[in-house]
Amino acid sequence: MNDLNIQGTQSTPAITSQHGEGLLCMQGDSYPENSFEFFDPIIRWIETYLRQEQSPLRLELRLVYMNTSSVKAMMDIFDMLEEAHTAGRQVSVDWFYDPRNERVLDLADEFREDCTFPFQIAADAFVS
Amino acid sequence: MENIDLFSLREHFNNNRILLCFNGPISRSLIEEIGNALKNYLQAENVQPSSAMDVFSIYVELTQNIRHYAKTKGYGELESSATVVVAKDGEGHYLVQAGNLVDKSDGEALLGKIQALAGMDKAALKAAYKTQLRHPREEGVASGAGLGLIDVARKSSLPLNASLSHANEGRAFFSLRATI
């Protein structure tokens, strides 16, 4: 399967995937006007991965600011992971945030409330 | 042409502690550029990163709402104009105020929505947010499907304040103020 390598912009995060490693990384701010268009290839990549591969899938996130339409698209992604988890697949999320900005922790934490798969939120040395 | 009195305009900005003001047709790239200027300003002012993000996020939601609305309505360039102000109140709170032309009936519906949000506490707002997040998206709607205003209310420290001013041709100017 193809991997994603989407350059980040001011309003969209950088996206990379390594299907051999079962890894999808997203980093940066996300506030495109049309979030569904932006997130569509990412959602399709995850769908394909879950269908074609049997190995675990891990999302490594360093997302900072997200507008509400990005939040909605992200919720769709987490719902897909939740469904896979319920079906017995190994899926997990690691969300790293800059400890100086607790809003990112709040954001990640609210997503986690609706997920039962392993969802780790950790302070990072990463500085945007 | 009448001479625009820049000095009194400047006095008006200063007296109202207006840091940033925009009036005119707003594009995707303008939202980003002004947003960037706002971020840099807040950083230079040593505003707490979490508060700076609240100001930034309210600015983005309100301006993107205006863009989406004008697009949905098929408004022309002039009607799509946004008026955006970021200011500080007397107590040092940041204010984001945004306004645009709307169909009068939409404006009235929006006022009702804002009044309902203004009456909700943080827990009720969170519940409304989560419900809306789970609400199926309408076909062809690219926006956050009604999440934006709830999010703005959640990030505000005071209830939202909205008003409607009469304009021509069945239109009204809708203005919304959020205090962070």
b/e sequence A38-47, b meaning 16+ C-beta within 10 Å: bbeebeebbe
Burial B80-117 (b: 16+ CB within 10 A, else e): bbbbbbbbeeeeeebbbbbbbbbbeeebeebbebbeeb
Residues in chain A with CB shorter than 8 Å from the CB of B68 are 33
By C-alpha distance, which of A30, A1, A37 is closest to A18? Answer: A1
**Structural class in CATH, domain B15-179:** alpha beta
Rama region for B37: left / alpha / beta (φ>0; ψ in -120 to 50; rest)? alpha
Domains of chain A, each with CATH number or no CATH: 5-123 (3.30.750.24)
CB contact under 8 A, B56 and A10: no
pLDDT of residue A128: 46
- From first to last of its 180 residues, what are the pLDDT tens digits of chain B? 678 899 999 999 999 999 999 999 999 999 999 999 999 999 999 999 999 999 999 999 999 999 999 999 999 888 889 999 999 999 989 999 999 999 999 999 999 999 999 999 999 999 999 999 988 776 555 454 579 999 999 999 999 999 999 998 889 999 999 999
The residue among A73, A80, A81 whose CA lies nearest residue A119 is A81
Mean pLDDT in residue range A54-82:
97
Can you give the pLDDT at residue B141?
A: 53
pLDDT at residue number B153: 97
Our CA-based measurement puts residue A112 at a distance from the nearest CA of chain B, in whole angstroms, of 12
Q: How far is Cα B19 from Cα B41, in angstroms, rounded to an integer?
A: 9
For residue range A3-31, what is the model confidence (pLDDT) as tens digits?
999 999 999 999 999 999 999 999 999 99
- Establish, for the pair of chains A and B, how many residue pairs have beta carbons separated by less than 8 Å: 61
Q: Where are the domains of chain B?
A: 15-179
Closest CB to B151: pick one of A10, A11, A68: A68
Q: Decide if A36 and B142 are in contact by the 8 Å CB cutoff.
A: yes
Give one word for A40, left, alpha or beta, with left for phi > 0 and alpha for psi -120 to 50.
Answer: alpha
